[in-house]
């Protein structure tokens, strides 16, 4: 069975992420979309909320599993018997950092390949931080994220504003 892990923060899940998923599922028998828990980052959504979003939005893909992990991606991929790690690239500026990580991962676990998938041009400018900022200020993010994510973003910001907190 060909297994790949697509790691990320997915805070929030964007149409660019989904574009990568749509193409990766054609290459592997199982694609594990895994939220990387990073204690140094302060995400908008909790891990449980992001898992919920991923499960609901990615439900149509029958060969996708949703999970979360902490630690090195290659260790997680190895624990799942994955042969590959999927990384999405939006622009040339993403490549340098991703390339360095791929080299480190290859050194740590030679049996796991990193596969880069570029997003379609119409998603190349989308970033989770830009989505959060636009949504926080009431901007239209309709073509950038799935409808379920829009609902969750505005629900979260409504809760944060009601509590007098900043959201992004």
Does the pTM of the predicted model rise above 0.85? yes
Return the pLDDT at 121: 86
Q: Is 41 a catalytic residue?
A: yes
How far apart are alpha carbons 78 and 83 in whole angstroms? Answer: 8
Question: Which range scores top for mean pLDDT: 40-44, 85-89, 127-131?
Answer: 85-89
Exposure string (b/e) for 109-118, b if CB count within 10 Å is 16 or more? Answer: beebbbeebb
Do residues 66 and 55 touch, judged by C-beta distance below 8 A?
yes
Q: Are 10 and 33 in contact (CB under 8 A)?
A: yes
Q: What pLDDT is recorded for position 17?
A: 96
At 14, the pLDDT band (50, 70, 90 cuts) reads very high
pLDDT value of residue 33:
98
Residue positions counted in the chain: 168
Exactly one of 50, 87, 128, 156 is catalytic; name it.
Answer: 128
Query: Could you give the domains of the chain?
Result: 3-125 (3.40.50.620)
Active-site option among 36, 50, 87, 90: 90
54: its two tokens: 């991923």
**pLDDT for 35-45, tens place per residue?**
999 877 789 99
Burial of 85 (0-12, 13-18, 19+ CB in 10 A): buried
Print the SS3 string covering the chain: CCEEEEEECCCCCCHHHHHHHHHHCCCCCEEEEEEEECCCCCCCCCHHHHHHHHHHHCCCCCCEEEEEEECCHHHHHHHCCCCEEEEEECCHHHHHHHHHHHHHHHHHCCCCEEEEEECCHHHCCCCHHHHHHHHHCCCCCCCCCCHHHHHHHHHHHHHHHHCCCCCC
17 catalytic per annotation: yes
pLDDT digits (tens, 9 = 90+) for 88-121: 998 777 788 899 999 999 999 999 999 999 988 8
Q: Looking at 26, 40, 41, 107, which residue is catalytic? A: 41
- For position 167, what pLDDT does the model report? 58
Catalytic residue among 17, 87, 132, 152: 17
């Amino acid at each position: 069975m060909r297994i790949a892990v697509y790691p990320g923060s997915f805070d929030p899940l964007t149409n660019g992420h989904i574009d990568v998923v749509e193409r990766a599922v054609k290459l592997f028998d199982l694609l594990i979309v895994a939220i990387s828990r990073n204690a140094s980052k302060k995400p908008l959504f909790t891990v449980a909320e992001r898992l919920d979003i991923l499960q609901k939005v990615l439900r149509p893909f029958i060969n996708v599993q949703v999970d979360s992990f902490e630690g090195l991606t290659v260790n997680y991929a190895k624990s799942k018997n994955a042969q590959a790690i999927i990384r999405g690239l939006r622009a040339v500026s993403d490549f340098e950092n991703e390339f360095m990580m791929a080299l480190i991962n290859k050194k740590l676990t030679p049996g796991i390949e990193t596969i880069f998938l570029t997003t379609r041009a119409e998603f190349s400018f989308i970033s989770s931080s830009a989505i959060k900022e636009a949504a926080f200020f009431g901007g239209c993010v309709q073509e950038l994220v799935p409808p379920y994510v829009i609902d969750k973003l505005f629900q979260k910001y409504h809760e944060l504003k009601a509590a007098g907190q900043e959201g992004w």
